[in-house]
Amino acid sequence: MPLGVPKVPHQYFEGEDAIWVDLYNKLYEERFLFLAKPLDDEIGNQLVSMMIYLTLDDINRDQFLFIHCTGGSVIPGIALYDTMQYIPPEIHTTVIGIAASMGSLILTGGRPGKRIAFPSATVMLHQPASTYADGMSRVCIQNDNDVAIIKEQIVDIYIETTKQKDKFIIWNELDRDRFMSAEQTLEYGIVDIIMDKEMVPPWLKMKWGPRKQNNWSKITRDEVSEFIDRNDAAPHVNGQMA
């Protein structure tokens, strides 16, 4: 007999009685997000919308994305990566099993200094596929030139976010499956930290618990303007932030 999704007590605001909620709803409320299956349009849209909602709920609170992903579609992956770069909260990424293909791209898209690999984690680099599936339909990238354009986007992302700055090397590495251990991933620059038993995980350092009031009211025009001004002042290269 299936057990279903466990329920846990959760208190939204101080002074309120705790209620029983699904475990995943509790985790989402506390900014824990999960990419635990191949990335497709549905999963990508869910994560993007959740990140935006949590940003509106509290613009200053970090979000934590745990990754155990064997790959997936290129377009939803790039959409999720871009969302992670342009929302104000810092995104901590952690690979807890494998981050392959699009999973590795999402992993490296976390805030620099806050990208973590568990000791037994595996990361795999891989070139973008020429097709991606959405339910029963199949959308085809029209020709090799389209694939090359998307591949160049991915190469540029790895150049920007890792220690590997040779475009030719990354381009060639994406032509085959490149598996890396946690130590190799750290050396490559996809992650910044390898978790160990002596380390206090960053999500345990945050202050959790019921809030004093609804955080929707805490987003001020000054905070939004400050974020916009900060992005406008940042150096740009080829129309993208440097």
Q: In DSSP terms, which residues pair with 9 in a beta bridge?
A: 20
Of 73, 92, 101, 104, which is the active-site residue?
101
For position 208, what pLDDT does the model report? 61
pLDDT computed for residue 240 by the predictor: 42
The yes-or-no answer on residue 120 being catalytic is no
At 231, phi and psi to the nearest 5?
Answer: -70, -40
pLDDT of residue 22: 83
Q: What pLDDT score was predicted for residue 126? A: 84
Question: What Rg do the C-alpha atoms of the chain give, in angstroms?
Answer: 19
Distances (CA, A) of 95 to 65, 66, 120, 187, 195: 9, 6, 10, 15, 10
Q: Is residue 112 within 8 Å of residue 161, measured between CB atoms?
A: yes
Active-site residue identified among 73, 92, 104, 126:
126
CA 165, CA 145: separation in Å to the nearest integer? 23
Determine what percent of the chain is predicted with pLDDT higher than 70.
73
pLDDT means per 10 residues in the chain (242 residues)? 67 70 84 95 96 94 96 93 96 96 96 96 82 43 69 94 92 90 97 89 68 50 60 49 38
The whole-angstrom separation of Cα 102 and Cα 81 is: 10
Tell me, yes or no, if 126 is annotated catalytic: yes
Q: State the Cα angle at 109 between 56 and 200, rounded to 5°.
A: 85
* pLDDT for the residue numbered 84: 97
pTM of model > 0.75: yes
Distances (CA, A) of 124 to 5, 7, 176, 182: 31, 35, 10, 11
Angle at 64 (CA atoms; ends 62, 70), nearest 5 degrees: 150
Task: Give the tens place of pLDDT for each residue, 121-135.
Answer: 999 998 776 444 444
- What residue ranges do the domains of the chain occupy? 31-208
In CATH terms, 31-208 corresponds, of 3.40.50.1820, 3.40.960.10, 3.90.226.10, 3.40.50.150, to 3.90.226.10
Residue 233: the pLDDT is 59
For residue 94, which of 194, 197, 183, 163 has the smallest C-alpha distance?
Answer: 194
pLDDT single digits (tens) 7-47: 777 776 666 777 777 888 888 888 999 999 999 999 999 99
